[in-house]
């Protein structure tokens, strides 16, 4: 007779399996899911109305776990697409770029360019609304669409600039633009 059921269960499990460890495979398959037809329809309608929402934000707004939402989105065949901002280039641009590259190669080979005087620099604008340039712009859909994201023309932002050369890294510089 057992007064505490836990030791009795462990003893019975040991006699049955030779171990008291939990069955990892059985535990892995015993997860609850919210992937129902109703949940699928809610997610499909949500992303049809606003395809630019992040998975994290959508899960929060719909009250569904992020992993369950990702599973539903996979079943609905929704894929993330990056919104690309491009500038049209014509034949003249391509030709001028090629000529510039050839000129720089010739100067480099003849010693007209001092490698120690080459600096590489880049800049990034951070807006105060949480977006860094266009890197955060994604939309979810079954196919690539033409999407225009409307943003304020003059956002409050700040610039971070950094340069590198054979002399080392020039410390990042930031500037507030209001």
Q: Which of 125, 109, 118 minimizes the C-alpha distance to 157?
A: 125
Measured distance CA(80)–CA(82) in Å, rounded:
7
Q: How far is CA 143 from the centre of its chain?
A: 18
- Residue 69, classified by CB atoms within 10 Å of its CB into exposed (0-12), middle (13-18) or buried (19+), is buried
Measured distance CA(17)–CA(8) in Å, rounded:
14
- pLDDT digits over 67-119, tens only? 999 999 999 998 888 766 566 677 888 889 899 999 988 988 898 888 788 88
Instruction: Give pLDDT, residue 139.
Output: 67
Measured distance CA(161)–CA(154) in Å, rounded:
20
Its pTM surpasses 0.85: no
Instruction: Give pLDDT, residue 114.
Output: 83
Residue in the structure block whose two tokens are 């050839």: 102
Instruction: Give pLDDT, residue 52.
Output: 80
Instruction: Give pLDDT, residue 30.
Output: 46
Collect the ranges in the chain with pLDDT lower than 50: 29-30, 132, 178
């Amino acid at each position: 007779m057992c007064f505490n059921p836990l030791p009795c269960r462990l003893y019975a499990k040991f006699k049955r399996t030779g171990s008291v460890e939990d069955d990892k495979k059985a535990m892995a398959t015993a997860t609850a899911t919210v992937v129902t037809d109703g949940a699928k329809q809610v997610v499909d309608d949500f992303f049809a109305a606003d395809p630019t929402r992040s998975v994290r934000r959508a899960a929060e707004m719909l009250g569904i776990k992020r992993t369950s939402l990702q599973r539903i989105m996979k079943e609905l065949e929704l894929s993330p697409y990056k919104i690309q901002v491009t500038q049209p280039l014509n034949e003249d641009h391509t030709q001028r770029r090629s000529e510039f590259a050839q000129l720089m190669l010739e100067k480099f080979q003849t010693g007209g360019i001092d490698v120690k005087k080459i600096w590489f620099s880049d800049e990034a604008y951070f807006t105060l609304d949480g977006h860094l340039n266009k890197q955060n712009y994604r939309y979810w859909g079954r196919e690539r669409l033409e999407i225009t994201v409307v943003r304020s023309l003059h956002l409050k932002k700040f610039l971070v600039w950094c340069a590198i050369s054979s002399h080392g890294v020039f410390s990042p510089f930031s500037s507030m633009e209001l």
